[in-house]
């Protein structure tokens, strides 16, 4: 599993024309399957008079939640080609819908597959990509006297602070930590504060990295 992976930041639109047919690619960030399905319905309503709405989506750091559809096109000519364009860029948390307006000329199985791949690839190329990560939130609670040692660890390890809270006598810093780094980072804080830091970790979450 990739702890850090690429996704897209915002919705993007692009289109190509092949032998009179228009292939419109709509690219969406999609954090989960429900969001992907809702955005697919939005595209279907937007282009309600189109011939086909073929799509593929990939969700999650493991890239195992994958769905694609030919939506009436010959089997293997659309959905899997769109997925191939996503896979080629190693993207996840993404939905790509390619809408076709038939132009009167049949493209054949090979030509149709190329058209769907090219439309998806061109649309993806217009999208701004971002890094996302599957992390654990690590909470470090420590006396004010240990602020410098704690901050030295944070700065030296280039850790990302999610938030900082305070009580009457302690600071509480929440950090986003890659799971593979969790044990070593916990040990660094324990050693730096001579065991005075109280450390706890939360559930896995996905964040922009």
Confidence of residue 1 (pLDDT cuts 50, 70, 90): low
Q: At what angle do helices 182-192 and 147-156 cross, to 10 degrees?
A: 150
Two tokens, residue 63:
């890239």
Instruction: List 140's β-bridge partners, or say none.
Output: 173, 199
The verdict on 92 and 142 lying in the same domain is no
Q: Which residue has the tokens 């890239």?
A: 63
The domain boundary, picked from 127, 145, 175, lies at: 127
Structural domain count, the chain = 2
Residues 73-121 pLDDT 10s:
999 999 999 999 999 999 999 999 999 999 989 999 999 999 999 999 9
Residues 164-185 pLDDT 10s:
999 999 999 999 999 999 999 9
Which pTM was predicted?
A: 0.88
The verdict on 17 and 106 lying in the same domain is yes
The domain boundary, picked from 127, 148, 183, lies at: 127
CB 188 within 8 A of CB 153: yes
Looking at the chain, the number of H-run helices and the number of E-run strands are: 5, 10
The verdict on 67 and 107 lying in the same domain is yes
The verdict on 16 and 114 lying in the same domain is yes
Residues 121-151 pLDDT 10s:
999 999 999 999 999 999 999 999 999 999 9
Q: How many C-beta neighbours within 10 Å does residue 131 have?
A: 11
The domain boundary, picked from 66, 98, 127, lies at: 127
Give the β-pairing of 94-101 and 52-59: antiparallel
Could you tell me which residues come within 8 angstroms of residue 159 by beta carbon, excluding any fewer than 6 positions away?
Answer: 153, 175, 176, 177, 185
What CATH number should be reported for the domain holding residue 185?
A: 3.30.70.240
Q: Give the helix, strand, coil percentages of the chain, each rounded to 5.
A: 35, 40, 25
Confidence of residue 2 (pLDDT cuts 50, 70, 90): confident
3-class DSSP string for 42-99: HHHHHCCCCCEEEEEEEECCCCCEEEEECCCCCCCCCHHHHHHHHHHCCECCEEEEEE
Two tokens, residue 100:
């076709």
Q: Which residue has the tokens 């799971």?
A: 179
Print the domain residue range for 29: 4-127
């Amino acid at each position: 599993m990739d702890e850090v992976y690429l996704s897209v930041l915002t919705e993007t639109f692009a289109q190509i024309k092949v032998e009179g047919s228009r292939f419109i690619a709509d690219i969406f960030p999609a954090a989960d399957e429900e969001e992907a399905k809702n955005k697919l319905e939005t595209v279907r309503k937007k282009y309600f008079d189109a011939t086909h709405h073929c799509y593929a989506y990939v969700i999650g750091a493991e890239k195992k939640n994958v769905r694609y559809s030919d939506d009436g096109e010959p089997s293997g000519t659309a959905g899997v080609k769109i997925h191939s364009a996503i896979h080629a860029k190693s993207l996840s948390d993404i939905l790509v819908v390619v809408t076709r307006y038939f132009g009167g000329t049949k493209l054949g199985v090979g030509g149709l597959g190329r058209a769907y791949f090219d439309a998806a690839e061109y649309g993806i190329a217009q999208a701004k990509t971002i890094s996302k990560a599957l992390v654990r939130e690590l909470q470090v609670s420590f006396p004010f006297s240990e602020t410098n040692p704690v901050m030295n660890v944070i700065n030296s390890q280039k850790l990302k602070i999610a938030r900082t809270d305070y009580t009457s006598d302690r600071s509480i810093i929440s950090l986003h930590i890659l799971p593979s780094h969790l044990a070593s980072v916990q040990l660094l804080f324990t050693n730096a504060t001579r065991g005075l830091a109280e450390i706890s970790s939360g559930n896995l979450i996905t964040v922009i990295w």
